[in-house]
A and B are shown apart, each in its own frame.
Chain A
């Protein structure tokens, strides 16, 4: 335990010391990025240690991690590494330097507590910390588009936070009624107060994940914001929020009275989200918009798994473990791919102008193809196993939901395959791919492939 807390404080310390050190170093110094890499490395070790020791209990039970959250912590650290690698040295030359290098470790630190939170107030506190980091990061490049995206993100995020506050309040009311602290969902009933409390949570978290119809900010922010920043928001930060919502849904649905109701709400949102994302992505000619809508669709698949978890939560079945593992795999596959792909559109997002961008480098083009195919769900890549186990677990709940998800998956092949074709086309592109983005793509693809080979073994070992 000491090692874990020591490591976490180390990450926090690095985050805090970077602004101070920046006063004494030049922009070209490798010290600041080096420290960020050190923080990422420490966080990887912390995640591995958490996985090895899981379940662990910190601060008298206020922060608890199990295997599921530990896997997500490792995914978060890997996504952070990919995002930082993709950005190269560019953030060092922004006016806002060294904020980027400081905020990445801070976000990692916040994610650890958010994922482990066992109390509504701690959820609110970590939510605010991580959200504010993401708002600030969106504004860091300080160009007009980034500022616009950040403002949109902040305003809508503030409203979402209000809904989260409603949930926190309701949670405490219900807790005092039930006479216990922490998550109060064991005391959820079918009264209308419980409904409002629960739905406020779904509206708040729905905003963070981009669940239709709470997703409005996402296409704008993802397509206007700087690619390196979107890489952070859609990679490490989103994985953390997926973990949080999964954990809360699992706890709240343990109450059999509300389990099926939550499941059906999530299933309806899943269908809306998948379908909206996939159809909107079909004909877009902008790579960032394509990735943005594809993000919505991917969250739709995760919601399919979440509805299965809500349904299975009160039951004593190994399927629940498979559903949790599936969400962990899918979130990892999603986060790692998107963290590497969004930077492609950092300077130019028109697919027409990007045609042939990857043709010059076979390794990068194969890697990018693998990432898109993983998102599509092609074996043996990680995205395939994520979807397979998600749909398998969901089949215990609703075959119709699985059928709709499969149809959606089929629709998505149109734009993923088109994107691959355009990016690797033999035409001469108008822009060139920066080496650090290519390196991030290759790193991510290797991770997706290796994890894809391990994934079935991992899931089998769980069951």
Chain B
């Protein structure tokens, strides 16, 4: 259904932008009351959430809504302004708006008394608005505007405490790996976030430009309709894979996939609700959304050429293999890092990047099965979207819980935490629910969505990707259990006296409790959840009926569950029965220390980046400085010397003697005459 005019559905993203603008205006007018900012932000996001729900209802019963502004916005590029609500779009809008709403409510209490509360709520609202614009944009340019909006907002929020007090850092102060510091201040982390994602954005821009030059449009539905022709054209030029990779670079960077994952792990310097927002509802999910949006378009183009242009099909498969491979590597690599970390938010950050890897694996694996037709695609996209939804719910819960725990312990490390289950029972239950979902334990939603991802990889015969996925499932169970046990049930490693630990206040407690229960309900009611997702995907892919997303207990599923159970048993035994003294072990054993340091220092990737890239640029700067010095010398010494000598030499020709001048005059007259006489005729 195409609607002329932006109203009312575009209000889903316009309203929070208006909210942000009003907050900015209030700030400029000198309004000091932080409650106004907090509830203003909650209200504008709340309106979006309600509108998203109404839109979802419409889309599920009547099909996609295309709300297009009557006039062309940029005539020479034929860019329109429109909101495109299909199954994928509304599911994303629902996830983004509702989870952001809960995070905003939580922030009302969390940010109480913060010196930058007004700024915080402005950026949170702007962030949500940009993310909603991104998922509902009908064309690439509008999508890119939302994309950059999330980039700016994340930079501002990660560096929210830009005065860089040590309590807001991430990493152990003073710790170095390969001579490079492994601790980061908020302002530094903000810059890292924007720089890492900027690299990807440049790729996205180039990809967009190339596709526009070929197709003459930025409109996403039009790009979908013509994908076989532009894919074919790119293939004939031999640049299909590079262009697709460039086009996806923005998504890889935004979703912190290897090798762009570094920005996400240090983005923990912002207030914890910001981490929740970035990890659960916005920012990193933008990259996954991008893949879920464009994998089907690329797939459909290649599928149309299945029998006529096998070269395109092969190239597209190569591209999907690279993307899904990167997803699998990221999932595994980040999971291993989470195993040894002792910073609560950092464990959750590693876990986010790891789970995002699953989503990329699922979505891109769909493309590997071009020959199998739309059923394989439907499975992959549904797997990616399911995991996005279930992850958004449990990760938001986990981060919001972490926010309270950090506040309670006065530390970002888990070492001073322990036995919290005694004093914060609801929080402990919430943590368990969300944690079990992350671990992939049935009947929580995380179990189903993860199994769907693994199933997509398995059916695509992407063996090593599938294997890494399975191993990562076991690793996930291990680090999640370790985290919960250490915080809630075991004695703390470090004891701090003098502060009372108690349950969170209601305004903070309820949002994460609701989210934790939601991750259980979504799983318990998986039939309904999966049907909605399946319908949304089928509708996006225009394939009529959706496929069944139920998970039956096949041999593969039982094997994964067995591995997860084994992992749980091992961790429980080590911590509860054997009671291994891990800090002591690391001190005593060189091997244990080497493994610990390798994982703790993030496979040394950060250090290598700093040595090679930052060091490389520093070396380049030094080289340029030398050249600059040379130019300086040239300007201030060489040129003056040459000119001074030249000037003096020319003047010494003038000796003041008349006879000499007469001779010179005649001499040169003769030369000029002779030369021109010879050359003239």
Contacts and interface: CB of A to CB of B under 8 A. Distances in A.
A282 B647 contact: yes
B28 interface: no
Interface string A162-205: 01000000000000000000000000001110111001100100
Interface in B627-681: 643-644, 646-648, 650-651, 654, 656, 658, 661-662, 664-666, 668-669, 671-673, 676-677, 680-681
A448 B672 CA distance: 37
A155 B654 CA distance: 16
A51 interface: no
A351 B646 CA distance: 20
A220 interface: yes
Given A192-B681, A199-B676, A213 B651 contact: no
Interface of B: 643-644, 646-648, 650-651, 654, 656, 658, 661-662, 664-666, 668-669, 671-673, 676-677, 680-681
B672 A289 contact: no
Nearest to B680: A195
Given A196-B673, A203-B672, A213-B668, A280 B650 contact: yes
Given A261-B680, A280-B650, A282-B647, A214 B658 contact: no
A279 interface: yes
B646 to A, nearest CB: 5
B373 to A, nearest CB: 65
B676 A195 contact: yes
A276 B662 contact: no
A217 B676 CA distance: 23
A373 B173 CA distance: 61
A433 B112 CA distance: 76
A387 interface: no
A331 B664 CA distance: 27
Contacts of A156: 658, 661-662, 665
A219 interface: yes
Q: Which of B648, B651, B662 has the largest number of chain A CB atoms within 10 A? A: B651
Given A199-B677, A213-B668, A214-B665, 11 more contacts: A155-B658, A192-B680, A194-B680, A199-B673, A220-B656, A265-B676, A280-B650, A280-B651, A281-B647, A282-B647, A283-B647
B665 A151 contact: no
Nearest to B654: A219
Contact of A283 (B648, B662, B668, B672): B648
Contacts of A281: 647
Contacts of B666: 159
Chain B interface mostly: helix
A155 B658 CA distance: 8
Contacts of B648: 283
Interface in A251-281: 261, 265, 276, 279-281
A276 B650 contact: yes
A284 B651 contact: yes
A159 B671 CA distance: 16
Nearest to A202: B672
Given A276-B650, A284-B651, A190 B680 contact: yes
Contact of A219 (B651, B677, B681): B651
A224 interface: yes
A203 B676 contact: no
Contact of B643 (A194, A213, A279): A279
A159 B664 CA distance: 12
B643 A216 contact: no
B671 to A, nearest CB: 8
Contacts of B676: 195, 199, 265
A131 to B, nearest CB: 15
A282 B649 CA distance: 12
Nearest to A204: B669
25 contacts: A148-B656, A152-B661, A155-B658, A155-B662, A156-B658, A159-B666, A190-B681, A191-B681, A192-B677, A196-B677, A199-B677, A203-B669, A213-B671, A213-B672, A214-B665, A214-B669, A219-B654, A224-B656, A279-B650, A282-B644, A283-B644, A283-B647, A284-B647, A289-B651, A411-B643
Contact of A159 (B650, B662, B673): B662
Contacts of B664: 213, 216
A207 interface: yes
Given A159-B662, A283-B643, A220 B672 contact: no
A220 B654 contact: yes
Contact of B661 (A195, A220, A284): A220
Given A213-B672, A276-B650, A282 B643 contact: yes
A289 B652 CA distance: 12
Contacts of A220: 654, 656, 661
Contacts of A224: 656
A4 to B, nearest CB: 37
Q: Which of B648, B665, B677 has the largest number of chain A CB atoms within 10 A? A: B665
A347 to B, nearest CB: 20
A182 B651 CA distance: 41
A317 to B, nearest CB: 26
Q: Which of A152, A191, A261 has the largest number of chain B CB atoms within 10 A? A: A152
Interface in A351-376: none
Contact of B669 (A163, A282, A284, A411): A163
Contacts of A289: 651
A197 to B, nearest CB: 11
Contacts of A151: 658
B642 to A, nearest CB: 10
A207 B668 CA distance: 11
Q: Which of B643, B656, B671, B680 has the largest number of chain A CB atoms within 10 A? A: B680
Interface string A217-251: 10110001000000000000000000000000000
Given A279-B646, A280-B647, A216 B673 contact: no
Interface in A64-79: none
A289 B677 CA distance: 34
Interface in A115-168: 148, 151-152, 155-156, 159-160, 163
Contacts of A284: 647, 651
B672 A217 contact: no
Q: Which 7 A-B pairs have the closest CB atoms?
A: A213-B668, A195-B680, A280-B650, A216-B661, A282-B647, A283-B647, A152-B658
A293 B668 CA distance: 19
A170 to B, nearest CB: 13
A355 to B, nearest CB: 20
Contacts of B661: 152, 155-156, 216-217, 220
A279 B647 contact: yes
A154 to B, nearest CB: 9
A228 to B, nearest CB: 21
Contacts of B658: 151-152, 155-156
A219 B655 CA distance: 10
